[in-house]
Structure 1
């Protein structure tokens, strides 16, 4: 399941959500449990990246970021548990690719322009590793240049490209997780289907029954 956060029924006002709409803040766990779980997950993610080859770390890291963006978007849309994955997130659906999810997160105002730019660079780096069998290292010239363009890396320009890549991954991930704490899913729009009485009155007004 690509979504980490299930959306339970919650009482209005739970964890400060006065309108009762779902958010991370209204999960069936308190903030301490949520942050503990998240911290353990990120530790496992960091440990896994350390053990990976350059190509493996690029593929693993971007897959994890893709999942995080999916989670953020899932929390940002009307809750239709039986339809939302097929309608929006399956491969042939509007948000079925990493690229489309990045764009939607940006245009919904969930991530900044700078986060979007780094995500696109990270995606480009992943694609170069994935589509060029001869490319096995971050020292590849095109990859190294992209790594040094990453804005969320706190490394000096002279540092190894892999360090820039990993620094950006964790910096961007922190921004996504921060956005998840404030996002609110919209309520479904109330039915606006006209009643039979309204239809009858409308026909009478337009003389459609004559």
Structure 2
């Protein structure tokens, strides 16, 4: 199972069928087809970009509908211009829970390594260590290769962010399945 979609389909077949009719599923499917064709670096960058966009939408949905709200996200000095700022804002607003926040922080660290080091890949010890901290999959003994751990975690994160409603005060809570995906 080298292709991300094959791995993801095998893991998600039963567990996320509950999301099939939710808003955002079509967008998630488009993302997944793009993600499937990417290199390691491309997959990391696309996943982080998608998470950034989804967090932005969740935050905007929680704000008063004023024209100036876009200034929080756009421009050189935009206070919510970075993924880090969006994650923190979404967490403090209760739009994501602590587990999601920690997963996003780890993915962000992986993204930063890939963005700033042209020689890094999933075989790098620091990336393996970071991927070992990802929790959105059932791999307690950490037997999955780093790329597979990243794929499963990032796809789970994006699926949850894209299928949960972006309603004011909705608060994204991660469904638990007693340690399973």
| TM-score of the superposed pair, with normalisation by structure 2 | 0.75
> What's 2:128 paired with?
144
Q: Does 1:161 align with 2:146?
A: yes
Superposition RMSD in Å: 2.1
Contact preservation (8 Å) 2:63, 2:168: no
> What's 2:15 paired with?
none
Count matched residues: 149
Q: Does 1:130 align with 2:115?
A: yes
Find the partner of 2:83 among 88, 98, 101: 98
CA distance in 1 between partners of 2:59 and 2:127 (Å): 28
CA distance in 2 between partners of 1:69 and 1:181 (Å): 9
Does the residue aligned with 1:123 lie in a helix, a strand or coil? helix
CA distance in 2 between partners of 1:41 and 1:101 (Å): 20
> Which has the higher mean CA deviation after the structures are superposed, 145-154 or 112-121?
145-154
CA distance in 2 between partners of 1:164 and 1:177 (Å): 20
CA distance in 2 between partners of 1:111 and 1:125 (Å): 20
Between the two structures, name the one with larger relative contact order (CA 8 Å, sep ≥ 6). Answer: 2
Contact preservation (8 Å) 1:152, 1:167: yes
Find the partner of 2:93 among 83, 97, 108: 108
CA displacement 1:163-188 (0-9 Å, x = unmatched): 11111112222332455354359xxx
Could you tell me how far 1:140 is from its partner in structure 2? 1.1
Unaligned runs of 5+ in 2: 1-19, 171-181
Does the residue aligned with 2:136 lie in a helix, a strand or coil? coil
Could you tell me how far 1:152 is from its partner in structure 2? 1.0
Q: Does 1:39 align with 2:4?
A: no
Larger radius of gyration: 1
| TM-score of the superposed pair, with normalisation by structure 1 | 0.65
> What's 2:43 paired with?
57
Unaligned runs of 5+ in 1: 1-31, 186-210
